[in-house]
């Protein structure tokens, strides 16, 4: 089921985390933070909304890294119910897509809950002080890539890197709901 994210709560402070990455490293928010901002992305392997933007997203994150924006992706889905989102599959996808950022596993879903993540993809763009400046979509693509679409995430985070502020107008991200474990 497709869901949309809430509007940006400017200045909201990012809760810390400590999560295992597919590279075998335990990552914290401080580890991934960049000197000019930070992008945290809730992604998964099976969602068609993620698949539609994954290749250009990897390129855009590399561009942002050169501007001083740190980044990480977090997978919070129930991997028992959705084995294609399991840790081994995460490793495969990160290698195939050549992720230039940590891909982290939120097995307990505690981070997704603390962040109020609602879907994949769900983008959180922060300034250098980890105040929220962007909670919008990648671009106008839905379940299929929209060639030539304006890269809203790239534009917003480029602006954050330059000015410390995200755009006042943001269109919420839409994607597959986070697949919560039955105890949720």
Query: DSSP string spanning 40-85?
Result: EEE--SS-HHHHHHHHHHHHHHHHHHHTTEEEEEEE-S-TTT-GGG
Confidence band for 3, pLDDT divided at 50, 70 and 90? confident
183 in a structural domain: no
Residue 95 is part of which domain span? Answer: 2-177
Tracing tokens 């401080």 back to the chain, one arrives at 30
182 in a structural domain: no
Question: How many helices and strands in the chain, by DSSP H and E?
Answer: 5, 10
Q: Which of 49, 51, 107, 50 is nearest to 78 (CA)?
A: 107
Of 75-79, 80-84, 100-104, 143-147, least confident by mean pLDDT is 143-147
As for how many domains the chain has, the answer is 1
Indicate whether 1 pLDDT > 70: no
Q: What is the pLDDT of residues 23-70, one digit of tens each?
A: 999 999 999 999 999 999 999 999 999 999 999 999 999 999 999 999
Spatial neighbors of 34 by CB under 8 A, at least 6 apart, are 65, 68, 69, 70, 71, 128
Burial of residue 117, with CB atoms counted within 10 A of its CB: 0-12 exposed, 13-18 middle, 19 or more buried:
buried
Spatial neighbors of 161 by CB under 8 A, at least 6 apart, are 36, 37, 64, 67, 68, 69
- Average pLDDT, whole number, for the chain? 95
Indicate whether 184 pLDDT > 70: no
Q: What is the pLDDT of residues 10-32, one digit of tens each?
A: 999 989 999 999 999 999 999 99
76 in a structural domain: yes
Model pLDDT, residue 69: 98
67 in a structural domain: yes
Model pLDDT, residue 7: 81
Burial of residue 26, with CB atoms counted within 10 A of its CB: 0-12 exposed, 13-18 middle, 19 or more buried:
exposed
Strand order from edge to edge, sheet including 2-4 = 2-4, 174-177, 119-120
Which CATH number characterizes residue 115's domain?
3.40.30.10
Model pLDDT, residue 183: 74
Summarize the confidence of residues 61-83 as an average pLDDT.
Answer: 98
Q: What is the pLDDT of residues 120-170, one digit of tens each?
A: 999 999 999 999 999 999 999 888 888 889 999 999 999 999 999 999 999
Burial code (b: 16+ CB inside 10 Å, e: under 16) for 169-178 equals ebebbbbbeb
113 in a structural domain: yes
184 in a structural domain: no
Tally of residues, the chain: 184
């Amino acid at each position: 089921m497709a869901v949309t994210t809430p509007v940006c709560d400017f200045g909201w402070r990012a809760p810390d985390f400590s999560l295992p990455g597919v590279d075998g490293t335990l990552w914290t928010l401080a580890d991934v933070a960049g000197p000019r901002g930070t992008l945290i992305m809730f992604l998964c392997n099976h969602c068609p909304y993620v698949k539609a933007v994954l290749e250009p997203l990897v390129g855009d994150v590399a561009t942002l890294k050169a501007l001083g924006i740190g980044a990480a992706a977090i997978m919070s889905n129930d991997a028992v119910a959705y084995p294609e989102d399991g840790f081994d599959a995460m490793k495969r996808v990160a290698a195939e897509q050549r992720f230039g950022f940590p891909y982290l596993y939120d097995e307990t879903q505690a981070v997704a809950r603390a962040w109020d993540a609602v879907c994949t993809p769900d983008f959180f763009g922060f300034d250098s002080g980890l105040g929220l400046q962007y909670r919008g979509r990648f671009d106008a693509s839905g379940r299929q890539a929209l060639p030539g679409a304006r890269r809203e995430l790239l534009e917003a985070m480029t602006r954050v890197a330059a000015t410390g502020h995200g755009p006042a107008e943001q269109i919420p991200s839409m994607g597959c709901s986070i697949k919560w474990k039955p105890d949720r």
